[in-house]
Amino acid sequence: MLTVQGLTRCFGQVRAVDGISFEVRDGEIFGLLGPNGAGKTTTISMISGVLAPDAGQVLVDGVDIWERPKQVKRMLGVVPQEVAVYEDLTGRDNLVFWASLYGLKGADRRRAIDEALERVGLADRADDRVRDYSGGMKRRLNLSMGLIHAPKFLLLDEPTVGIDPQARLAILDVVREVARGGTTVLYTTHYMDEAEKLCDRMAIIDRGEILASGTLDELTRLAGEGDVLRVSGSFGAEDLRGKIAGIDGVEISRIGDGFALLSVVPEGPGLAQLLPRLLDGEAGIDDVSIQRSNLESVFIALTGRALRD
Amino acid sequence: MRAMLAIIRRDLMRWRRNPGRLALLLALPLVLAGVFALAFGSGGSGLSVRVLVLDEDDTPLSNLLAGALGSQEDTGPLDVEIVGDEGRAMIENGEASALVVIPEGFTDAFLAGRPAALRLLKNPSQRFLPQAVEEALRAGAVVLSQASRTLRDELDQFHEMLQADAKPDPLVIGAMSTRIAEKLETVADYVFPPVIELEVASAGDGESADDGPTMQAVLALMLPGLAVLSLLFFAQSATRDVMEERDRGLTRHLLTAPVSVGEYLLAKCVAVVIVSALGFGLLIALGVLAGIDWGPPVAVLALLLAAATAASGLLLLLVSLTGSEMSANALTTIVVMVSAMVGGSFVPLPVLPAFLLPVSRLTVNYWATHGFLTLIRDGGGLADVTTEIAVLSTAGLAMLALGAWRLARRIRRGDV
């Protein structure tokens, strides 16, 4: 089990990660979902022993990584957000180097390299220089380097950023396969659909804080059982309350600066009565959008902003 | 230890996979050495400029001029040959660098004070050597022109004597000689240095040419300094990797493996020293092939390792002071080039101005070059270069430690 407790890290005046805690259970795929700049990479850097936290603790199978870094690092495989491969070397050279860092040698190393190359579909390009690879191939090589020593825990930091859909699917398939083999996976992403399809459980992170965590069902319930209406404009809170007064199944979830989120019970009369009132042009409402409950609506419900903002 | 070896192996493999990078760093000092050798060398290794002289005027004066050029047994790099009409065909066939033609009527025009021209036909397939002949001829033309003006009366009298059928009167020749001597005395301070130079060459006294440096001697003088410059280039290239790896996230990724910051930096330092030493070693080998005796192998090896340590330390320290690969490039290039200029890589140490020596002694170039010159030129041994080895090793290790410490501190602060 991977346990993160009160992890905090500041860069100058900026609190990049602010006392976050979560657990990743053995064999599960745990997602850390949040927009760019939410603190995902800083969190992964602290968990993987690259960046010392200002406060908090990371326990891997009960061992603190900052107390016994080498012991813990041997259990971790890390796939960074950057394509961290040597482009002037071949794919195989990169894997030989990486395997050597973990003490693999001889026949064991050759077998591990062949398996890793086969798994990510690069066996036929293994002896080409990486600089001749496509972006997706580099990403797959990046992934294979994290798997070469068959780690117990695999940490993936946005491994599908900037690649084509086909390569993305290939990477997600490998992650699923690895997890099925018993590896515990911590997966960070800002792609809502990836988190929904891949993760058993997840935490939503924004501005260095964990806003919520749980399974997909548990999280979507946070946004309410029904639809979410996002209303934006220059209206006042009292104006909005006046508009929804007397309509059953509609309530204000959140009011922010220039926006409000309304929860509408599905299959009720609310939406049909509400929309004409909101759009009558008298309340200063410029835009109304409807969203089914998903991680996006959860994020909106929790932060008032869309995940992509 | 295992991880350190893996990092060192990987760095060396990257060099092996990039022969172009290796060749470039090796070629640069060799090209510079070649330029210096061509610029200052002569004779010895067969460099020569073949110049043909065709005397179409065929007068006593033109014969004298052609003979003065062609009679020398050894004119250093100049191989002057007096030819007939076949000279034009020879130059067209590329058999010489230049053909100097003394045209018909040259003597009459010169002695009468009219403009007289020498013609120069250059070999179009060559670039530098004919240019050198042209420059030399221009200088000669200036001397002749000045002589024409200064000795106007005497040349007129000489002209009349040549045209007369009668035998010249010895008394007239004596009086004319006296007047020429008096005139030359008045301009002696200005004219004699070049005239003397000319006379030494014209006398057929090969001593001056023999004293000129051979290409091998120039290489022996220049190659150590240029090899040290190459060493700094190798160290620069190798240490630049530290910043490149940082900027590309490779260091951050590497530190997720069971590798400590100290192990990583130590491995990088060792790799830089090895790469630099190997690069320098290759240049030493090339020097040996060119006939340079570098001295006792043990002394050479010790000095090489000390120099490689110092170069690596200097560059690692510089890189640790910068914030990105780009700024590292800028700073290290400036320091390397300034060190090369004041430290004896571009100007040989024996001819370096005295006022530069205090600054020069602050450079890796000075101590390494000084050590190698002691071995090569003075025939020194290990005992003669212990000071250089001590200075380079101590400074190198200190700079390596300081640079590694600064980088480690930055990495631990999260600047990775």
Q: Does A10 touch chain B (CB under 8 A)?
A: no
- Does residue A230 surpass a pLDDT of 60? yes
Query: Angle at the Cα of B396 (from B393 to B401), degrees rounded to 5?
Result: 125
Tell me the CATH number at A231: 3.30.70.250
Give the pLDDT band of residue B202 (cuts 50, 70, 90): very low
Give the pLDDT band of residue B205 (cuts 50, 70, 90): very low
Tell me the CATH number at A132: 3.40.50.300
Give the pLDDT band of residue B68 (cuts 50, 70, 90): low
Q: Does A129 touch chain B (CB under 8 A)?
A: yes
- Does residue B286 surpass a pLDDT of 50? yes
Give the pLDDT band of residue A25 (cuts 50, 70, 90): very high
Structure-model confidence comparison of residues B184 and B190, the more confident one? B184
Tell me: do A200 and A288 sit in the same domain.
no
Tell me: do A65 and A180 sit in the same domain.
yes
Give the pLDDT band of residue A144 (cuts 50, 70, 90): very high
Tell me: do A84 and A106 sit in the same domain.
yes
Please report the pLDDT score of residue B138 as a whole number. 62
Average pLDDT over residues A117-143: 92
Please name the residues in contact with B23: beta carbons below 8 A apart, sequence gap of 6 or more.
Answer: none
- Does residue B210 surpass a pLDDT of 60? no
Tell me: do A46 and A150 sit in the same domain.
yes
Comparing A262-276, B375-389, B397-411, the range with the smallest average pLDDT is A262-276
In chain A, how many H helices and how many E strands? 11, 14
Q: Does B249 touch chain A (CB under 8 A)?
A: yes
Is A302 within the bounds of a domain? no
ipTM of the predicted assembly exceeds 0.85: no
Provide the residue range defining the domain that includes A37. Answer: 2-220
Is A307 within the bounds of a domain? no
Q: Where are the alpha helices (DSSP H) in A148-210?
A: 165-180, 192-198
- Does residue B258 surpass a pLDDT of 80? yes
Comparing A255-259, B163-167, B244-248, the range with the smallest average pLDDT is B163-167
Comparing A44-58, B44-58, B209-223, B257-271, the range with the smallest average pLDDT is B209-223
Tell me: do A108 and A205 sit in the same domain.
yes
Is A19 within the bounds of a domain? yes
Which helix (H) or strand (E) element contains residue A214?
Answer: strand A209-214
Interhelix angle A165-180/A135-147, rounded to 10 degrees, is 10
Distances (CA, A) of A125 to A90, A121, A129, B154, B317: 9, 9, 8, 89, 39
Q: Please indicate whether, in this complex, the C-beta atoms of A84 and B249 are within 8 angstroms of each other.
A: yes
In chain B, residues with a C-beta closer than 8 Å to the C-beta of A103 are 2
Pairing relationship of beta strands A153-157 and A184-189 according to DSSP bridges: parallel
| Percent of chain A at pLDDT exceeding 70 | 95
How close A71 comes to chain B (CA, Å)? 8
In chain B, residues with a C-beta closer than 8 Å to the C-beta of A106 are none
Comparing A222-231, A276-285, B213-222, B278-287, the range with the smallest average pLDDT is B213-222
| Mean of pLDDT over chain A | 88
- Report the DSSP beta bridge partners of residue A214: A202
Q: Is B244 helix (H, G, I), strand (E, B) or coil?
A: helix
Tell me: do A161 and A231 sit in the same domain.
no
| Mean of pLDDT over chain B | 77
Q: Which of A158, A187, A220 is the last residue of a domain?
A: A220
Give the pLDDT band of residue B70 (cuts 50, 70, 90): low
Average pLDDT over residues A144-159: 93
Average pLDDT over residues B238-242: 82
In contact, A205 and A32? CB cutoff 8 Å: yes
Count the neighbouring beta carbons within 10 Å of the beta carbon of residue B142. Answer: 11
Is A276 within the bounds of a domain? yes
Q: What's phi and psi for A66, nearest 5 deg? A: -85, -10
Q: Does A91 touch chain B (CB under 8 A)?
A: no
Instruction: Give residue-wise pLDDT tens across range B71-119.
Output: 554 445 567 788 888 888 888 777 887 888 888 888 887 777 777 777 8
Query: Angle at the Cα of A68 (from A64 to A73), degrees rounded to 5?
Result: 90
